[in-house]
């Protein structure tokens, strides 16, 4: 069977059968126009349609439960029987909908369409989690649902909805990992957490690129005080204990003592200063007006063919900018030993380490989500927020797919450079 055969393997009739009937949609639109009603919102036609669908589902379940159709003669003196209905308002993705729930005399009816005690359809919970993952606070989610859907959900309820992911988070944080990762990116961001008083706390993050090219977030850890190499050793040890026996390259910032922590965990790992971090820190020491010119003059340094060429290009850079920004010279001198391994890699590996630094993109999403909150009441709340961000990344998988499609040249380069360690 060829790839073309696979592409047409699904019969057209099957796809069309799953598609809603267009004529039904047109009838609903025409009916709404004739009645002077909106399709969505409170009292809209879709609300009535949702009510009918839910009530029909409940009636079908009741018929199966008691063993006879509604109003059927055989239901008289039949043991358990129908016992009228009770009104109930459920919150749906289109707003609140009032439904009539059938009852039975024995009180044994347990519907699945809308469960006992259920006040929200599952889609609403998914919406709350999605909005929270995008950085909205509980107050903002509450206001959004009230404004757009005329739905009243308290902040406490919103917090309870998002708390349901805590079990998944615990499993995710302790799941087994791959034996080896070609690249692991590590970094930390600072969040504000109230523990007696509001304090800056580091959140440690690690992203591994698998042999298959998948970018895998290995975990999140909240530390105390400032970012430290000692705590990083604990994090890396935990990652090792979850099955990671080797890492070819570990990319990090220039934190003092961190290369020693990495070497203690994976002795064969090459420690690489994050070039993107180094470039951005260079810009932080300079006026914004000079950034474009500096970027042009700095590019030959990290695209050099070898260490000697890079040293020459860096000296030319310092000749232009060193007098104006002497701190940049110190920055590069301190980072040089962990920067130069980058120059020994093939262009394919360099591209993975520089242009696709996944952790920078992840940190940007984290900062966006935490900025709106100001601070978190406790460590768990901070981790929950960041975990929801992780869950919301690339929901359709298209970004991951594009990355994996471009991974093969880099994998071949890794297999040659680190022969015998990947497979």
Q: Label residue 213 left, alpha or beta by phi (over 0 means left) and psi (-120 to 50 means alpha).
A: left
Say if residue 377 is in the same domain as residue 406.
yes
pLDDT in the model for residue 56: 75
- Quick one: pLDDT band at residue 46, thresholds 50, 70, 90? low
pLDDT of 8 strictly over 50: no
Residues 283 and 330 in one domain: yes
- Which residues neighbour 373 within 8 Å (Cβ) at sequence distance 6 or greater? 137, 385
In a domain, 158, yes or no: yes
The whole-number pLDDT of residue 10 equals: 38
5 in any annotated domain? no
Q: Let me know if residue 173 belongs to a domain.
A: no
| Shared-domain flag, residues 304 and 192 | yes
| Within-domain flag for 390 | yes
Asked if the model's pLDDT at residue 16 lies above 60, the reply is no
Q: Is residue 208 part of a domain?
A: yes
Considering the chain, what is the average pLDDT of its residues?
A: 83
Supply the pLDDT for residue 396.
76
Cα separation, 48 vs 345, whole angstroms: 64
Q: For residue 211, is pLDDT > 70? A: yes
Q: How many domains does the chain have?
A: 3
Q: State whether 57 and 204 are in the same domain.
A: no
Q: Give the per-residue pLDDT at 292.
A: 94
Of 97, 130, 164, the residue that ends a domain is 164
Query: Residues 76, 187: one domain?
Result: no
Residues 44 and 154 in one domain: no
Whether residue 218 sits in one domain with residue 142: no
Q: Are residues 110 and 125 in the same domain?
A: no
User: Does pLDDT of 244 surpass 50?
Assistant: yes
Q: Which domain holds residue 58?
A: 12-115
Stated pTM of the model: 0.70
Q: Is residue 288 part of a domain?
A: yes
Question: Which is more confident, 265 or 70?
Answer: 265
Do 97 and 126 belong together in one domain? no
Considering the domain boundaries, does residue 70 fall inside one? yes
Q: Which residue has the higher pLDDT, 3 or 176?
A: 176
The top-scoring range by mean pLDDT among 36-40, 43-47, 106-110 is: 106-110
Out of 164, 197, 229, a domain closes at 164
Statement to judge: residues 110 and 126 lie in one domain: no
Tell whether 235 and 281 lie within a shared domain: yes
Are 237 and 382 members of one domain? yes
């Amino acid at each position: 069977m060829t790839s073309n055969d696979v592409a047409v393997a699904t019969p057209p009739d099957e796809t069309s059968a799953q598609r809603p009937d267009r004529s039904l949609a047109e009838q609903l639109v025409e009916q709404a126009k004739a009645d002077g009603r909106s399709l969505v919102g409170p009292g809209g036609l879709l609300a009535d349609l949702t009510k009918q669908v839910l009530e029909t589902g409940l009636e079908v379940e009741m018929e199966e439960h008691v063993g006879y159709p509604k109003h059927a003669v055989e239901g008289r003196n039949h043991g358990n029987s129908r016992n009228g209905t009770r009104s109930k308002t459920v919150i749906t993705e289109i707003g609140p909908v009032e439904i009539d729930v059938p009852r039975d005399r024995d009180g044994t009816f347990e519907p699945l369409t809308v469960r006992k005690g259920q006040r929200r359809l599952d889609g609403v919970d998914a919406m709350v989690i999605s909005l929270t993952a995008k950085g909205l606070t509980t107050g903002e989610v509450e206001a959004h649902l009230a404004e757009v859907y005329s739905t009243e959900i308290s902040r406490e309820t919103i917090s309870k909805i998002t708390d349901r992911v805590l079990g998944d988070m615990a499993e995710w944080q302790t799941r087994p990992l791959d034996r080896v990762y070609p690249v692991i990116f590590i970094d930390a961001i600072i969040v504000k957490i109230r523990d007696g008083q509001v304090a800056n706390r580091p959140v440690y993050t690690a992203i591994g690129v698998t042999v298959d090219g998948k970018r895998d977030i290995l975990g999140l850890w909240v530390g105390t005080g400032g970012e430290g190499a000692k705590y990083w050793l604990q994090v890396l040890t935990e990652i090792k204990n979850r099955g990671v026996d080797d890492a070819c390259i570990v990319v990090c910032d220039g934190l003092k003592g961190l290369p020693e922590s990495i070497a203690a965990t994976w002795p064969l790992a090459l420690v690489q200063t994050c070039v993107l971090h180094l470039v951005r820190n260079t810009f932080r020491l300079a006026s914004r007006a000079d950034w474009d010119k500096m970027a042009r003059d700095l590019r030959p340094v990290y695209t050099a063919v070898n260490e000697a060429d890079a040293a020459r290009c860096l000296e030319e850079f310092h000749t232009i900018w060193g007098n104006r920004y002497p701190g940049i010279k110190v920055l590069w001198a301190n980072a040089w030993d962990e920067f130069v391994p980058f120059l020994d890699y093939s262009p394919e590996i360099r591209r993975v380490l520089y242009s696709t630094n996944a952790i920078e993109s992840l940190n940007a999403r984290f900062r966006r989500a935490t900025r709106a909150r100001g601070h978190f009441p406790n460590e768990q709340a901070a981790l929950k927020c960041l975990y929801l961000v992780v869950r919301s990344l690339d929901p359709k998988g298209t970004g991951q797919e594009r990355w994996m499609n471009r991974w093969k040249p880099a994998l071949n380069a890794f297999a040659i450079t680190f022969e015998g360690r990947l497979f």
